[in-house]
Amino acid sequence: MGKLLLKDKSIVVPGEDIASGMDYLPGYGTYRETEKIIANRLGLLSIEGRAVRVIPLSGQYIPKTGDVIISKVIDVSFSGWRIDTNSAYSAMLSLKDATSDFIARGSDLTRYFNVGDILVCKVINVTSQKLVDVTTKGLGLRKIKGGRVISVNANKVPRIIGKQDSMVGMIKQATGCKIIVGLNGLVWLEGLPEKELLAVNTIRMIEKESHLSGLTDRIKAFLEKETGNKITESKSE
C-alpha cells in the first residue's frame, strides 16, 4: 500500500520523504530510493493522480528549445553574434538565423546588431553540452529599443505570464505599458515612467506571492486600487 507522507502544495526540502510504497510515481524533482519517494530539490510539492513532482521555486534558468527569451549581444564574430542568455550558457545567433537579407562576405555585421543590443529571440536548439542556438526570425522576434529590462526569478515567469497571457495582459491593460516577458527571467517594459514603475511593482508582487492561491484576484485588486480604473475581463486575446 502506498501512502503519501506530505500534503499537496506543501514545501519540500532535499532529502525529505514524500511518499512510501510503489503506488506513486516519482516525477521531476523527486527520485525513488527502495520503497520511498524522496525530494530532490527545494520546491512546491504537486500531486496529480499518482504522479508526484516538485515545482521549483528558485534556481537559475537553463535554456530550452522553443523558449522566447530576452538577451543581450555580447560579441560580434565573422558568422554571427554571441548572445548572453541570463544563464550559465551563452548562445550563438548565426547569420542565417538572424535575417533573410543577403549579406556579402566581409560586410559589417554591426549594421544589424551591435554589442549591447537587447534582442527578443527564440531558442531553436540546445545540445547535450548546452551549446545554444537562437533565432530572430519569427513573429515578434526582433531588436528592442528603449524601455527597460528588469530581472526576475526565472521560475516565476509562468505565473507572471498567467494562463493564456491573462496576468501580463491584465498588467498591460491597467498600465498601458508594452511588456515582453522572456522565459529566461528578463522582462522588458516600456511606457509612461509612473506606469512603468507600477508595472514593475506588480511584477515584483507576483514574484513574491506566486506560490500562494488566489494570486490573480489579488493582483487585479491591487491594480484597480492603484490606477482607479476597473479592469475588464478580456478572455484570451
Residues that bind other proteins (CB under 8 A): 11, 13-17, 29, 31, 33, 38, 40-43, 56-60, 62, 88-90, 128-130, 155, 208-209, 211-212
Nearer to other proteins, 128 or 232 (CB): 128
Residue 5 C-beta: closest distance to other proteins, Å: 13
Q: For residues 182 and 85, is the Cβ–Cβ distance under 8 A?
A: no
Nearer to other proteins, 58 or 229 (CB): 58
Nearer to other proteins, 115 or 192 (CB): 115
Residue 89 C-beta: closest distance to other proteins, Å: 7
Residue 9 C-beta: closest distance to other proteins, Å: 11
Residue 67 C-beta: closest distance to other proteins, Å: 16
Nearer to other proteins, 16 or 224 (CB): 16
- Report the DSSP beta bridge partners of residue 151: 186
